Amino acid sequence: MFRLACALILTAALNAADWPFYGGDAGSSRYSTLKRINTRNVGNLKVAWTFHTGDKRDRPVTQMQCTPVVVDGVMYVTSPQLKVIALRADTGEKLWSYDPFAGLNDRRPRGVSRGVSYWAGGRDKRILFTYRSRLVSLDAATGKPDKAFGDNGQVDLTQGLDRDITGLAYYVTTPGVVYKDLLILGSTTGEGPRPSAPGHVRAFDVRTGKRKWIFHTIPHPGEFGYETWPPDAWKRGGGTNVWGGLTLDVKRGLVFLATGSPTFDFYGGDRTGDNLFGNSVVALDAGTGRRVWHYQVVHHDVWDYDLPSAPSLVTLRRGGRPVDALVQLSKMGFVFVFDRATGKPLFPIEERPAPPSDVPGETLSPTQPFPLKPPPLSRQRLTEEDLTDVTPAKRAYILERYRKLRAGSIYTPPSTQGTLIYPGFNGGVNWGGGSIDPENGLLFANSNESVNWMTLKKAAAGAGYTFDFKGYTQLLDEEGYPSMKPPWGWLTAVDLNSGDFRWRVSFGEHPELTARGIPPTGTTNFGGSIATAGGLVFIGATQDHKFRAFDSRSGKVLWETQLETGAYATPCTYEIGGRQYVAVAVGGGRWNSPAGDSFVAFALPD
């Protein structure tokens, strides 16, 4: 018995030292129990190692959004040119690499990959990786494809969707989740007015690559939710995909989906109804794909208000007893908190009247859900009073443009005149999601103040669709800064037990504005945070190319370092040989920032 207890303790310790999931753990908490790096010593952090993928040298790249997976001292990462690389996690030494486009040289594709999934069964250990529309199984020790998986180690994900999607965009950017011997995957699909693929969620046997189940996010005849669409939508409808990741409740055997909007994103005249399971949190039996519960957070979306990140699991207190909860963040800035066993909201949600559309053929939902707590993480109305006051010239520039557009509060519909969409397509909260401190019931979330304008236009004759749009246009001042009063980026701690903010700070800085005597404004940010038992929140994400550690109790910056370019990714933390590391991808490539190709690990001095 003593040996068994010791073995269990050792196993727990080894697991705690790893970062085995994209979201840190199966519940996407992005939390680590490690605390060798803490509030007392974080100021001493130094670079432990830097690894360059080499992609920047070969060809300019866009960005790196990969969160490393770390298991048993090995770090698995993906590069801008969609390679998989295994590193010694304590030194950054390359162990192996897999290149799906070997030999293409200058013609090789590039793209977004947020990382890999790890599976172990007996002596077999696999890295499950997606590039474009292909799923690959690699031997975790060697990086060689598993010949027993699919067709010579690969599965074509455009097949097995119960519909022919030949010629339609379909790819996977975010890792799936592993449940027992299943890999459960979402997808990214087209979003425009032309035909697009459906975002059905599937589970694959990790040993063979065979499809084990499928959940139709656009229901087929006889399935729940079918009546919320036109009768033939299951044959032609697109989107309602899960592009931000998935979350597991291993104990209950549930997988949670956070779905995107149906297509076309900005006009729904040809998809009348509420369009389940678009813009929904959905709980499925992870073993079978059977629906357990769902909650739709936007009805008949025409604002591109995808649920952009996987939900996070945490146990809260209600009426003196523990309640296993699910927290879903959103582009709208809303925080939705549910009982994850039943789907019952843990804070009241009101269905409030929403404005109608005057676009021919469009019928919007008369109401939309508004959670009463926690408060929104971003502003949801843009008036003249809210416009930038950074300088009088900037305000005058924005005011002239603002007065030409239709403005209102959240859920003001797109129009042919031009409508301000606020919060905009970049959030609120985006794909970085939030991190959880389970000991104190806290959520940490970075969010944006971003406004777009959307103008619909009649499609050309013979196009096959009714309306098109004039592009994803942000309302920016003459220098490219946001149009509203600062802060333009936030980092917020939310007490999930009370539903109140614990603290809130402006997040990021534009040094060139600070040099003009303008107080720090915060910046637009992409990427997410992690939280640790050391009382810290680590995050990059900002346009100033800094990586920071915040005190989780107060929001005070305890440490920051200047990177070579932006860290538009979510970090990870792990421990090897009694030394804790924090690592992040430094890829830049957004907002005219230089392209990068490095992974950087930080640690306390030996």
Task: Retrieve residue 455's tokens.
Answer: 């103008």
Distance in angstroms (rounded) separating the CA atoms of residues 207 and 141: 16
| Separation of alpha carbons 187 and 70, rounded Å | 24
Query: Which two structure tokens, joined as six digits, stand for 29?
Result: 């908490």
| Residues in contact with 217: Cβ distance below 8 Å, sequence separation at least 6, in sequence order | 198, 199, 200, 201, 240, 241, 242, 257, 259, 277, 278, 282
Residue linked to tokens 């949600």? 349
Q: Where are the beta strands (DSSP E) in 477-528?
A: 489-495, 500-506
- Residue 389, amino acid: D
Structure tokens at 575: 């421990």
Query: What token pair was written down for 279?
Result: 């813009």
Q: Is the dihedral of CA 257, 263, 268, 269 positive or negative?
A: negative
Pairwise CA distance, residues 501 & 445, whole Å: 11
Helix, strand, coil % in the chain, rounded to nearest 5:
10, 35, 55
Alpha carbon distance 153, 136 (integer Å):
6
- CB 417 within 8 Å of CB 309: no
Count how many residues are written for the chain.
Answer: 606
Task: Assign residue 228 a region (left: φ > 0; alpha: ψ between -120 and 50; beta: otherwise).
Answer: alpha
What single-letter amino acid sits at 439? E
**Backbone angles phi and psi of 56, in degrees to 5:** -65, -35
State how far the Cα of 332 lies from the Cα of 335, in Å rounded to an integer: 9
Q: Which two tokens stand for residue 162?
A: 């119960």
Local structure of residue 484 (DSSP, 8 states):
B
In whole angstroms, what is the distance from residue 460 CA to residue 262 CA? 22
Nearest-CA neighbor of 259 among 294, 300, 307? 307
- Pick from 555, 529, 556: nearest CA to 542: 529
Q: Under 8 Å CB-to-CB from 112, ≥6 apart: which residues?
A: 62, 63, 65, 173
Contact 546, 579 (CB under 8 A): no
- Say whether 164 is catalytic: no
Q: Which one of the listed residues 146, 265, 304, 306 is annotated catalytic?
A: 304
Distance from C-alpha of 164 to C-alpha of 261, rounded to nearest angstrom: 21
**How far apart are alpha carbons 127 and 143 in whole angstroms?**
8
What is the residue whose two structure tokens read 């929140």?
537
Which secondary structure element, helix H or strand E, spans residue 59, and what is its range? none
Q: Annotated catalytic sites, by residue?
A: 304
